[in-house]
Structure 1
Amino acid sequence: MKKMLALGLVAVAVNGYAADKTVLLEVPVSYHADAGVVPKVKDECKPEAQLATHVGAMLKKLNGSGDGTVASADAAGDASVLRLQITHVLGVGGGGMSGPKAITVNAELLEGGKVVRQTKVNRWSTGGMFGAMRGTCSILDSCAAAIGKDLGKWVNNPSFQIKEEAAPKNAEPEKQAAAQ
């Protein structure tokens, strides 16, 4: 009985974190200085905008109001701020025919301008059942959507650990890197 009560109290404390605290995504999402991304994919697919759309929508849902984004941490008021930095985008033109696509981001949760938590998220996609018919940007958008879901859970639950996602079986990093 005591265990159940303790678990219940922990669940209330953990699940109440985001309910009491508004969390906003700082936009625009930035790129790390050493980020690996094919310029054409960066220009045409705009992974930073895809992430802003999906993560912002998730935070809007968690917050229950607003658009889930803020232009700077200074403008966030009492809200916490989620800052994303893209460190790598795996993808070349050719959609599903040119292999898997991936987005990797570093995420920081700031409160009062100070980093209170940070994590790394990497999500892969081969485009699913109809991957060969999907374009690169569409597949990267799926990666951004998955990152949005992961970060929504992470923001809402301080004990949630984002698991590193293994590369798909048909991913050949050496050949992918050489193609880029």
Structure 2
Amino acid sequence: MLLCLATPAMADTIHVQDPIPFSESAYIADNIKAECRMGAQLATSLGSNAPKFGNTIAFDAEAVSTGRALKLELVEAQSAGNAFSGHFKSATVRGVLTQDGQKVATVTARRVSRGGAFGGFKGSCDVLERVVTAIGNDLAEWLAKPTDEAKLGDF
């Protein structure tokens, strides 16, 4: 019996832009864009989680159209509340997985957080960055078996 297992040598390499950009059409507050490192944190999370699911992420300064590529955009980020009244943070990411420029699958991932344990001691950017860390893990798992029009996380 022949058993095939994904090993690092057999893993798919997927090109991703780093940092993940904010969508030009998104309604995201300027202070979130300026102060929070959501795009960089999302890329870091995706890159560190992908090997658990048999893939490797190659980071590029700009989106690429050759090979296997995942074009992601942050399309929504909300930062309501604060450490005293309670956090309500959310983020949504949309992506298109391509192979040599041809669409393979699309994905939308969304996560919501109320700050978690000791949320009162965390700033808004900390909570938003934790939200995109969870999205990065969701996307890494999806890349192992991508389905078109997937909805991941909190929908």
In structure 2, list runs of 5 or more residues that go unmatched.
none
Greater helix fraction, Structure 1 or Structure 2: 1
Query: Which residue in 2 is equivalent to 1:178?
Result: none
- Normalised TM-score (structure 1): 0.69
Identity over the aligned pairs, expressed in percent? 28
Change (3 A) 1:87 1:95: farther
Change (3 A) 1:98 1:35: farther
- Normalised TM-score (structure 2): 0.79
The root-mean-square deviation of aligned C-alpha atoms, in Å, is 2.9
**Corresponding residue SS for 1:43:** helix
**Corresponding residue SS for 2:48:** helix
Greater strand fraction, Structure 1 or Structure 2: 2
In structure 1, list runs of 5 or more residues that go unmatched.
1-8, 167-180
CA contact (8 A) 1:150 1:162 kept: no
What is the 5 A alignment of 1:1-180? 19-59=10-50, 62-63=54-55, 68-74=58-64, 78=67, 80-92=68-80, 94-95=82-83, 97=85, 99-159=87-147, 161-166=150-155
**CA distance in 2: counterparts of 1:39 and 1:164, whole angstroms:** 25
Count of aligned pairs: 149
How far residue 20 of structure 1 moved from its aligned partner, in angstroms, is 4.4
CA contact (8 A) 1:25 1:59 kept: no
> 4+ residue stretches of structure 1 with deviation over 3 A?
59-64, 92-98, 159-164
CA contact (8 A) 2:74 2:92 kept: yes
Give the number of the structure whose alpha-carbon radius of gyration is greater. 1
